[in-house]
């Protein structure tokens, strides 16, 4: 098979930190080549260079054996390279179709803009149907869940006609069925001559779909192997350098759940267009319990999390906190004072302010309670001292200085910073939405261990995730959310097939 894309001796630094050191990678036409590595190993940086987002400081890029230098993503797209990023590149006020048109040939085609947009909407519906995605081309992107936005990114690259596809964690927020359809489609594209790079942490996807796998560690290429000839345990060993204990059924052993800590009845949101996002949610969270909420993204999970945290007050129904009462009048800061902890699905867009420092992102959670003095005259020394202690306690790697921007942290370390802030004071309620999305095996295990520890300390934990493996590994009870309501509940050990069936019921 001919080599479609080859990167040789690539070097790249950020703020004095060497992210890539003499890194090599190649993908052939007709193959799916997986790229493995811990968060911060350099995978995304290397692929961002291949997609024209970054310029390498050393090394060479070849496309179809011809040396190239990209001036930007559009230049890479002219060489038929398309990348689906883990952190999305969408214009929130635009519709789905308008976002996809930005990189589509119809953007500069003949006819009126309205006619071209209509033709693209038809293409989107057809491709979405083939992939099993439920996407409205006319919906504004800002109203979509994280999972739905991910599907838009995938459609955007496929419809733009890319023949070298780079997929960064494409199944991180997809259900089993959606992931199966997507990877089956991607595999078929490769067999029709496309070259596919699959950046992932899911070893099962690598074993099932990849023809080759390259492992990176510390910005360097470690090894390229045939995944059919190595066991998952060996791939994990190559990736992280040592064995990782993953949470399983045996770690659900615990004392019986306590009293009802948070009770939700008849929660309903105002309809935006047709059916309301929340359409009569009934839910009870118990102290000392992890309640896992499974479901296809876009069925009200994000709206439920926002309502419970007080971000969306325009709701009907009741939310009652043990020993407090009705929460509807409580603000978000008021709920934080009541020992609510929140881990949003969008860690860079909502959980962290990338332009602020690590210390500021940590301390912002306690500014309103006066720990650092007045908001107009902060005690930055105390804030930095607390942040230093938390960074060490939660093993947040990549923090060279506390005043460095949080945006420079890798996904796993950014998530650990969020956990350090949210679990800095023992929470009574934990709202965790897709907490291990895009994280490597080690970082995922650490996040899961923190959730289990919070449960064991008596917190009531709501775990919302499209990753059914994560739900089954951590949850004491499992609920399924469809079309704005919880349609089924299961005690552990739960039947995976029954849960999957409930997820697609209408």
Q: What's residue 186's pLDDT?
A: 84
Name the nearest CA neighbour of 64 among 79, 84, 74.
Answer: 79
Q: What's residue 391's pLDDT?
A: 92
Tens digits of residue pLDDT in 226-270? 999 998 888 878 876 654 554 454 445 556 778 999 999 999 988
β-strands 315-321, 325-326: how paired?
Answer: antiparallel
Tens digits of residue pLDDT in 282-333? 999 999 999 999 887 778 888 899 899 988 776 789 999 999 999 988 888 8
Q: What are the structural domains, with CATH classification, of the chain?
A: 3-240 (3.40.50.300), 258-339+427-506 (3.40.50.300), 355-425 (no CATH)
Alpha helices per DSSP H over 264-408: 301-308, 332-337, 358-363, 380-393
Placement of tokens 């090394």 in the chain: 59
Is residue 30 within 8 Å of 195, Cβ to Cβ? yes
Q: In the 3-class helix/strand/coil scheme, how is 96-164 assigned residue by residue?
A: HHHHHHCCCHHHHCCCCHHHHHHHHHHHHHHHHHHHCCCCCCCCEHHHCCHHHHHHHHHHHHHHCCCCE
Tell me the whole-structure pTM to 2 decimals.
0.65
Placement of tokens 């040939």 in the chain: 105
Of the candidate ranges 66-75, 215-224, 255-264, 460-469, the one whose mean pLDDT is the lowest: 255-264
Q: How confident is the model at residue 439 (pLDDT cuts 50, 70, 90)?
A: confident
Mean pLDDT (the chain) is 86
CA angle 99-298-455, nearest 5°? 130
The residue-averaged pLDDT of 484-490 equals 92
Would you say residue 34 has pLDDT above 80? yes
- More confident of the two residues 106 and 162: 162
Q: What's residue 250's pLDDT?
A: 44
- DSSP assignment, residue 256? P
Q: How confident is the model at residue 131 (pLDDT cuts 50, 70, 90)?
A: confident
């Amino acid at each position: 098979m001919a080599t479609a894309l080859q990167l040789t001796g690539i070097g790249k630094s950020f703020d004095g930190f060497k992210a890539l050191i003499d890194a090599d990678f190649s993908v052939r036409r007709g193959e799916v080549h997986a790229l493995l590595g811990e968060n911060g190993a350099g995978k995304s940086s290397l692929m961002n260079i291949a997609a024209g987002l970054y310029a390498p400081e050393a090394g060479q890029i070849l496309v179809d054996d011809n040396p190239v230098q990209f001036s930007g993503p559009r230049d890479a797209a002219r060489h038929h390279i398309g990348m689906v990023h883990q952190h999305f590149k969408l214009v929130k006020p635009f519709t789905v179709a308008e976002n996809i048109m930005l990189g589509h040939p119809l953007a500069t085609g003949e006819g009126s803009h309205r006619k071209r947009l209509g033709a693209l909407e038809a293409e989107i519906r057809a491709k979405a149907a083939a992939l099993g995605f439920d996407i409205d081309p006319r919906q504004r992107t800002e109203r979509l869940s994280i999972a739905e936005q991910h599907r838009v990114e995938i459609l955007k690259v496929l419809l733009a006609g890319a023949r070298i596809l780079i997929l960064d964690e494409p199944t991180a927020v997809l259900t089993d069925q959606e992931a199966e359809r997507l990877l089956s489609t991607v595999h078929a594209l490769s067999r029709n001559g496309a070259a596919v790079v699959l950046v992932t942490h899911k070893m099962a996807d690598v074993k099932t779909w990849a023809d080759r796998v390259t492992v990176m560690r510390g910005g360097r290429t470690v090894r390229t192997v045939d995944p059919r000839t190595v066991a998952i345990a060996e791939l994990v060993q190559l990736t992280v350098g040592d064995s990782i204990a993953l949470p399983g059924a045996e770690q659900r052993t615990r004392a019986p759940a306590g009293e009802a800590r948070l009770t939700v009845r008849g929660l309903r949101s105002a309809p935006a267009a047709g059916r309301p996002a929340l359409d009569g949610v009934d839910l009870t969270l118990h102290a000392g319990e992890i309640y896992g909420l499974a479901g296809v993204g876009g069925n009200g999970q994000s709206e439920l999390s926002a309502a419970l945290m007080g971000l969306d007050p325009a709701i009907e129904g009741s939310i009652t906190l043990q020993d407090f009462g009705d929460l509807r009048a409580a603000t978000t800061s008021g709920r934080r004072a009541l020992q609510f902890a929140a881990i949003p699905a969008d860690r860079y867009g909502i959980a962290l302010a990338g332009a602020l420092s690590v210390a500021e992102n940590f301390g912002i959670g306690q500014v309103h309670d006066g720990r650092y003095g007045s908001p107009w005259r902060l005690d930055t020394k105390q804030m930095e001292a607390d942040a230093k202690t938390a960074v060490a306690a939660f093993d947040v790697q990549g923090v060279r200085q506390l005043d460095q921007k949080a945006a420079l942290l890798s996904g796993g370390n950014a998530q650990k910073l969020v956990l350090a802030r949210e679990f800095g004071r023992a929470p009574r309620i934990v709202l965790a939405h897709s907490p291990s999305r895009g994280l490597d095996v080690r970082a995922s295990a650490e996040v899961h261990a923190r959730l289990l520890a919070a449960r064991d300390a008596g917190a009531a934990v709501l775990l919302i995730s499209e990753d059914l493996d994560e739900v089954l590994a951590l949850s004491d009870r499992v609920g399924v959310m469809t079309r704005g309501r919880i349609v089924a509940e299961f005690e552990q050990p739960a039947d995976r097939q029954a849960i999957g069936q409930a997820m697609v019921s209408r």
